[in-house]
Amino acid sequence: MIAARMHEYHQPLVLEEVPEPVMKPDEILVKVTAAGMCRTDVQLLDGYFRKYAPSTFPLTPGHEIAGTVHKIGGLVPRSAGFEEGDQVVVVGGWGDGTCRHCQVGNTQICSHGQWPGFGPYGGYSEFVPVPSRYLIKVDKRLKAEELAPLTDAGLTPYRGIKKLRDAGALGPNRVLGVFGIGGLGAYAVQYAKLLGAGATVVAFARHPDKLAVAKEYGADHVISTKGKATADLRKELNNTIGKGELDAVIDCAGAAEMIRTGFELLGVAGHYSSVGLVGDQIDIPLFPFVAREYTYHGSFWGNYNDLSEIMALAAEGKIRHTVKTVRLQDVNENLELLRAGDIVGRAVIKF
């Protein structure tokens, strides 16, 4: 098969012919039809995760995967319901199955887990072996290039907003700020309207095209952050919604400067949910954090049930997409565009 593989940090991916994976008896060999391109893939190349989980080369990136069932292992139970030709999506976090996080279904935060796209096999290839319990069958009528991004770009903000909802941070008299309208933020705006219990949704971003997407997808208001200090944003927010503070934030960028700004705009007893990973350190004043009783939610990816709920929403036509389809041969060019922040929505490799 053809795969785009990483052989070392800070170097372009190499397109090469490699053996088709030999799957284990409890696995299903998925023929990849679409693979989302995530900023995390750029960070993987740039060594962002090196101090947390050093890579073993060569590896094949690509953790947003949609495809079809190609072969079924002999130990996959019939009750799993898979047949050759089924359209499927891949759940990203594969746990060890024994820790307390796995036992409640949060396999994506298992300390001994693994992820496709961070090892030998990933979506930037024609086939990938997947344990059957981490596949979800979806309607064949749905487009693969729209399904693939939902496994991360669409999944991660969904879980983050569920945390805000479950914490009681959302409601008809609340204001939710969505920071960063990239691959994740475009979905976050939609989930904010679907799960926000009537909360007013304000989108913040630098790029006018991205703000236009946020408005199209249901944001009640959009505010450009380009060249503006926090005081400017507070004034604009006050002119827009009648108050200069936010009750909750879903941060889809994760840049240190944006996190500081978000906390400076957060009201008393506000909730902040971080799902983005642009930076690596945050610096926020401690006294306001304690005295104003802020709550900070870290939220990583999503579990099987989260993705199942998203697939149900997709099947009902309740999720819209901004997708740019690309060829595997053009993967390095589009990684550079991702690095520069010049892709609106999600770039997806279409096989």
Report the pLDDT averaged over residues 60-89: 97
**Looking at per-residue confidence, does 255 or 146 come out higher?**
146
Task: Work out the pLDDT band at 252, boundaries 50, 70, 90.
Answer: very high
268: which residues sit within 8 A by CB, 6+ positions away? Answer: 292, 293
Q: Exposed, middle or buried: residue 30 (CB in 10 Å: 0-12, 13-18, 19+)? A: buried
| Domains of the chain, each with CATH number or no CATH | 2-152+302-350 (3.90.180.10), 156-298 (3.40.50.720)
Mean pLDDT computed over 49-62? 92
Give yes or no for a contact between 269 and 259, defined as CB atoms under 8 angstroms apart: no
Residue 51 is predicted with a pLDDT of 87
Partners of 2 in beta bridges:
17
Query: Distance between CA atoms of 115 and 306, rounded to whole angstroms?
Result: 17
Percent of the chain with pLDDT over 70: 100
How many angstroms separate the CA atoms of 99 and 306, rounded?
19
Split at pLDDT 50, 70, 90, the class of 120 is confident
* C-alpha dist (Å) from residue 70 to 81, 91, 117, 128, 146: 14, 17, 19, 10, 20
- pLDDT classification of 147: cutoffs 50, 70, 90: very high
Category of 182 on φ-ψ map: left (φ > 0), alpha (ψ -120 to 50) or beta: beta
CA-to-CA distance for 191 and 159, rounded, in angstroms? Answer: 10
Residue 190 has pLDDT above 90, yes or no: yes
Q: What's the one-letter identity of residue 280?
A: D
Q: What is the reported pLDDT for 275?
A: 96
Residues 197-249 pLDDT 10s: 999 999 999 999 999 999 999 999 999 999 999 999 999 999 999 999 999 99
Q: Is the pLDDT of residue 251 over 80?
A: yes
Q: What is the pLDDT of residue 208?
A: 93
How confident is the model at residue 53, as a pLDDT?
83
Please, what is the angle between helix 230-241 and helix 256-264, to 10°? 50
Q: Which two tokens stand for residue 330?
A: 């053009």
Mean pLDDT of 149-176: 97
**Which residue in the block uniquely carries the two structure tokens 């006294």?**
287
CA-CA distance, 227 to 229, in Å (whole number)?
Answer: 7
Mean per-residue pLDDT, 279-294? 92
Estimate to the nearest angstrom the gap between the alpha carbon of 41 and the chain centroid.
Answer: 12
Mean pLDDT across the stretch 278-283? 84
Whether 279 has a pLDDT exceeding 80, the answer reads no
Through-space distance between the first and last CA atoms of the chain, rounded to whole angstroms: 12
Predicted confidence at residue 281, as pLDDT, reads 85
pLDDT of 297-346, one tens digit each?
Answer: 999 999 999 999 999 999 999 999 999 999 999 999 999 999 988 888 89
Q: Which residues contact 141 (CB under 8 A, 6 or more apart)?
A: none
User: Would you state the pLDDT for residue 183?
Assistant: 87
Mean pLDDT of 138-162: 97
